[in-house]
Structure 1
Amino acid sequence: MARYVKISSLGPAPCVIEAGGSAEEAVERMIAHWKRMLGFVLPDKPDLIVMPEACDRPSKAHYPKEERLEYYRVRGNRIRDYFASVAAEHGCYIVYPTHMQAEDGSWRNTAQFIDRQGKLMGAYHKNHLVPAEYDANGILYGKDAPIFECDFGRVAAAICFDLNFDELRLQYVRAKPDLIVFPSMYHGALMQNYWAYSCRSHFVGAVAGLPSSVLNPLGETVAQSTNYYPYITATVNMDCAVLHIDENGRQFAAIKRKYGPKVKIHDPGLLGSVLISSEADDLSVRDIIAEYGLEPLDDYFNRSLAHRCAPGHMEP
């Protein structure tokens, strides 16, 4: 059955707060900054809002480390509590990326997940830091890659430099999340598209000061922010599957004849794969796959590998 999810991504440049003021004033200004930015997307009534990496860290160009540590001390969980109140009031999930100090005094670069009731679901800790994050700031590497169970689907996270490492991506290839969220200071360019396609997942990037995007599981851009407006809202359908055209393609005309607009078969061109989705309330993609004996892309690739390795199939 169609599972429409409305996603908002916010990617303004880091908030500029001049050095020399009180930490209390800086916290209040940061909350005001995000209240203003959220005002651009909340009227769309999103199911999920994603912020950029370290979203409540003042611009480093204007705010030195010494003042930043005092700011973090005064901030505590106050900005998270603000986002939690917004999530509860508007009935949406919020991904809050931040630098947080653990009880033992160590630091993490984290993406905290807040549910529709304003409660903390858990957090993803950046697995692949830039070495300077540890050397200069004492931030520890994360070691886990949890999947967050939301009411619209299963969500994974990657933060900034993470996008360069296959170790994490392959974990998500196996886990098969419906959506990957990517809070970042770095855009990633084609790596965004590659992660979306290789994980067969929707992908949303929230990139500070650079274009933020929503991608489909074919790696295509569904929506992208601009130099004028650093935010987007887009609706995607999670009830979908990626299929190769080989062997499946012979069934596409019959599917369309029977179901018409209830089933969407989208061909991006050149890739050899399509995205099939159910646009109906009484029909799921799994139903269509079962009815027509369709083979999902990963099953086809795995079968092709097994066929290659069968006795007598490979040159001596």
Structure 2
Amino acid sequence: MNEKTIATIALSDQGFADLQAVLREAAHWVEAASVQGADLAVLPETVNLLHRSAHDAPPEHFALEDWRTETAILREAAAKHRISLVLPLLVRDGASLANRFYLLSRDGSELGFYQKQVPATGERLAGVQPAHNTPLRWEGLTLGGGICIDVYFPNSVFDPQMEAGADLFVIPSMTPAGAFLDSCAVLYGVPFVLAYSPWSRILDRDGKELAAGGFRSETLRASLGSPMQQAKINFDAVSLFADFNGEKILALQRHYGPKVRVRFDQSNCLFFVESRSVDLSIGEIMREFGLISRRDYFAQLDPEMATRSSAKNIL
């Protein structure tokens, strides 16, 4: 069993006079997420543009030249409360612009960044540059990324990161992604975390919502309740296509008893198996019973997919 609690934080794009006001609000909710037991907080896309409505200037005017110094109040709050942070920003990188999220560890150190791979039309016109990315390492997990419209290009954005062993995807966004995101969770067999202020969503590997909410809520618009959503996810788990694996499930359950949890998704023909014991890994379970993940099962049936599939990836 390897459980992590992940939180999303919704932030309004109204009522902020400047960036420091945005960061103070974000810091308040990052602290609240930590108090509630979150290991990682994910903020919505380009938080340094949220005060833009109070000014008459194009987005590029708000790009940060020295993001570390300019976001110190938020970074220091996260480090003080020992919570990791996904911090999405529009930044200047030399002569160009980049839409990125930076991944910060519990002590505030930088673990790397993800840069938007498919900038939208307005971003391209403003000079925002695309980039190809590799997943980031975070507390023993491989964290894949996407930003906003990236989600609609899964073959070029998600496939390479899955082949590099991504255990989950975090997506700061200004688009809701909708049912498309549900299908991605099922297709890739990993959790997806969408930080979208109107309606953030945390999806398990079966595409089902573990948590959802945001400023579409009448309660939140009335300044009641919390803009924070969070869920505990077990990453010691796997999606199995029923063919080949299904005949072994009953024996697996009898062998491990309460050390495993098994769910069957009839409509998608999938079993979801997770370890519920600290001394039993999903890798051990799969080796013991000769199981194969949904992704690898289909890869062996499709020669083209098989050539792209990573031997490391078991999820």
TM-score (norm 1): 0.85
Aligned partner of 2:308 in structure 1 is none
Alignment CA distance shift 1:192-1:53 (3 Å): same
Preserved CA contact (<8 Å) 2:30 2:78: no
Preserved CA contact (<8 Å) 1:212 1:232: yes
Out of 259, 263, 283, which is 1:262 matched to?
259
Distance 1:63 1:267 in 2: 52
How far 1:39 sits from its partner (Å)? 4.1
Indicate the SS of the match to 1:172: helix
How far 1:4 sits from its partner (Å)? 0.5
Q: Does 1:115 align with 2:105?
A: yes
Distance 2:24 2:7 in 1: 19
Out of 132, 145, 160, which is 2:133 matched to?
145
Alignment CA distance shift 1:53-1:264 (3 Å): same
Q: Does 1:234 align with 2:231?
A: yes
Q: How does 1:209-288 map to 2 (within 5 A)?
A: 210-226=198-214, 227=217, 228=220, 229-288=226-285
Structure 1 letter corresponding to 2:180: M
Alignment CA distance shift 1:144-1:254 (3 Å): same
**Greater Cα shift, 234-243 or 190-199:** 190-199
Preserved CA contact (<8 Å) 1:15 1:57: no
Alignment CA distance shift 1:110-1:73 (3 Å): closer
Out of 46, 56, 59, which is 1:64 matched to?
56
Out of 130, 147, 151, which is 1:159 matched to?
147
Q: How does 1:158-237 map to 2 (within 5 A)?
A: 158-165=146-153, 166-208=155-197, 210-226=198-214, 227=217, 228=220, 229-237=226-234
Alignment CA distance shift 1:67-1:130 (3 Å): closer
Preserved CA contact (<8 Å) 1:206 1:212: yes
Preserved CA contact (<8 Å) 2:175 2:196: yes
Distance 1:254 1:213 in 2: 35
Structure 2 letter corresponding to 1:287: E
Distance 2:163 2:187 in 1: 10
Q: Which runs of 5+ in 2 are unaligned?
A: 221-225, 304-315
Identity of aligned residues (%): 22
Alignment CA distance shift 1:294-1:68 (3 Å): closer
Preserved CA contact (<8 Å) 1:217 1:242: yes
TM-score (norm 2): 0.86
Alignment CA distance shift 1:66-1:255 (3 Å): closer
Distance 2:258 2:27 in 1: 40
Distance 2:67 2:137 in 1: 26
Q: Does 1:94 align with 2:91?
A: no
Preserved CA contact (<8 Å) 1:176 1:201: no
Figure out how many residues of one structure are paired with residues of the other and give that number.
Answer: 293
Structure 2 letter corresponding to 1:97: P
How far 1:15 sits from its partner (Å)? 4.4
Distance 1:287 1:129 in 2: 41
How far 1:75 sits from its partner (Å)? 7.5
**Greater Cα shift, 178-187 or 79-88:** 79-88
Out of 275, 292, 296, which is 2:293 matched to?
296
How far 1:97 sits from its partner (Å)? 0.2
Distance 2:151 2:83 in 1: 26
Preserved CA contact (<8 Å) 1:176 1:200: no
Aligned partner of 1:311 in structure 2 is none
Indicate the SS of the match to 2:80: helix
Preserved CA contact (<8 Å) 1:212 1:230: no
Indicate the SS of the match to 2:132: coil
Indicate the SS of the match to 1:56: helix
Aligned partner of 2:307 in structure 1 is none
How far 1:181 sits from its partner (Å)? 0.3
CA radius of gyration, larger in: 1
Indicate the SS of the match to 2:50: coil
Structure 2 letter corresponding to 1:62: A
How far 1:74 sits from its partner (Å)? 8.6
CA RMSD of aligned residues (A): 2.1
Distance 1:96 1:65 in 2: 23
How far 1:8 sits from its partner (Å)? 0.6
Out of 4, 27, 33, which is 2:25 matched to?
33
Preserved CA contact (<8 Å) 2:65 2:92: no
Structure 2 letter corresponding to 1:188: A
